[in-house]
């Protein structure tokens, strides 16, 4: 059994996430994380083995939190399935607008940048996307009469739409335009209900 860690691991991973997200994997060093947290390089290497190990731990924590965010927003939203999806898409848009330099999503950014050379990123991304789809399905299942196949496809569509909105935000699309897209999509394209 290994020694217990002598540092606040969630705090260290939060700091690492911020650095990897803002600078990218290649431009972030373990020393940068050490400087940001006060945790020595040796302790970081002892805990994670390498910069890659540190990144993957931070990335997995980030992805777990994002999947939980999706599930929690959809299940807590009042009203119809369309209302719940609209609340989720608007929460995603608001989150994008709050990010420095509209940096997008660490998961999507990392899949594009690191997927070809770091297969764990693809594996974690697939697992996270499936968890997001499941969270949406759980949140809207009791609000409509869709069969399991339709519910699965609709939930996947919601996640794809959310990811598309994140990419549009990175391109500088205005928040107002993103909300217009989300409002129309949440009713017409994703859930097959008429726009109100």
Going by pLDDT thresholds of 50, 70 and 90, the confidence category of residue 3 is low
**Domain limits at 142?**
56-189
Average confidence score pLDDT of the chain:
91
Q: Has residue 190 got a pLDDT over 70?
A: no
**Mean pLDDT computed over 1-22:** 84
Residues 109-161 have pLDDT tens digits of: 999 999 999 999 999 999 999 999 999 999 999 887 778 888 899 999 999 99
In a domain, 141, yes or no: yes
In a domain, 4, yes or no: no
- State how many domains the chain has: 1
In a domain, 176, yes or no: yes
In a domain, 18, yes or no: no
| C-alpha distance from residue 71 to each of 43, 45, 97, 137 (Å) | 34, 34, 20, 9
Q: How far apart are CA 115 and CA 14, in angstroms?
A: 21
In a domain, 42, yes or no: no
Q: Has residue 193 got a pLDDT over 90?
A: no
Going by pLDDT thresholds of 50, 70 and 90, the confidence category of residue 194 is very low
The CATH number assigned to the domain holding 124 equals 1.10.357.10
In a domain, 106, yes or no: yes
Q: Are 177 and 81 in contact (CB under 8 A)?
A: no
In a domain, 90, yes or no: yes
């Amino acid at each position: 059994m290994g020694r217990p860690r002598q540092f606040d691991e969630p705090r260290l991973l939060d700091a690492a996430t911020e650095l990897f997200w803002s600078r990218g994997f290649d431009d972030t060093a373990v020393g940068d994380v050490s400087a940001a947290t006060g945790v020595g390089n040796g302790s970081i290497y002892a805990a994670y083995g390498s910069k890659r190990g540190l990144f993957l731990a931070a990335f997995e924590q980030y992805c777990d939190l994002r999947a939980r965010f999706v599930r929690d927003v959809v299940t807590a939203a009042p009203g119809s399935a369309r209302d719940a999806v609209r609340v989720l898409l608007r929460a995603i848009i608001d989150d994008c607008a709050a990010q420095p330099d509209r940096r997008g999503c660490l998961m999507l950014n990392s899949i594009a940048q690191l997927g070809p050379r770091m297969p764990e990123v693809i594996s974690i991304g697939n697992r996270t996307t499936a968890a997001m789809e499941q969270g949406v399905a759980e949140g809207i299942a009791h609000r409509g009469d869709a069969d399991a196949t339709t519910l699965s496809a609709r939930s996947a569509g919601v996640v794809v739409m959310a990811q598309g909105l994140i990419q549009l935000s990175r391109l500088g699309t205005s928040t107002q335009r993103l909300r217009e897209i989300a409002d129309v999509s949440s009713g017409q394209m994703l859930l097959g209900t008429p726009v109100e």
